[in-house]
Amino acid sequence: MATSNDLLIKQRSVIEFLAAEGRSAANIHARMKTVYCEMCISDCAVRKWVRIFKGEDPRETILCDQKRSGRPLSTSVTAHREKVDCMIRANRRVKQKENAKAVGISKERVHHIVTTVLGYRKVSARCVPRQLTVEMKAQRKDMCAQLLEVSTVFILA
């Protein structure tokens, strides 16, 4: 299955080809709608790309999105993840503000690393992994079985 970016590039290629033939934007969108159905880009986007392709040489047209300047995401650096994880394992009561100062990133990024990347959550002001131990799973299974037995006895009575 093609990714959404691949699909956009394919649709831009179709727009470029049909615009070079001299088709109108409305005609191009109608033809694309029959092929791509709900995955088709909007009429407004088709019109934008037709305007872009009209004045260019088809051999020099760039269909892919160009690189943009901007700050890279610093949370993707594994060093940040490892530092935050080490600080949490050393002191489970460490605050996100302290982590942010030590690592040199924002509190929001530390929160993202702790909750999404590392999978921790707060329990009694301590960061603990979101994983059940084997004993906890067994306890939950036993409790569910007991509740099922009680509910079936209650229903039958």
For residue 92, what pLDDT is reported? 83
How far apart are the C-alpha atoms of 105 and 110, rounded to whole Å?
7
Find the range with the poorest average confidence among 3-7, 27-31, 67-71, 83-87: 67-71
Task: Tell me the pLDDT tens digit for each residue of 39-67.
Answer: 898 999 899 888 888 876 666 666 666 67
Mean pLDDT along residues 129-157: 83
Domain boundaries, the chain: 4-60, 78-129
| Residue pLDDT, tens place only, 81-95 | 889 999 988 988 888
Residues of the chain with pLDDT > 70, as a percent, come to 79
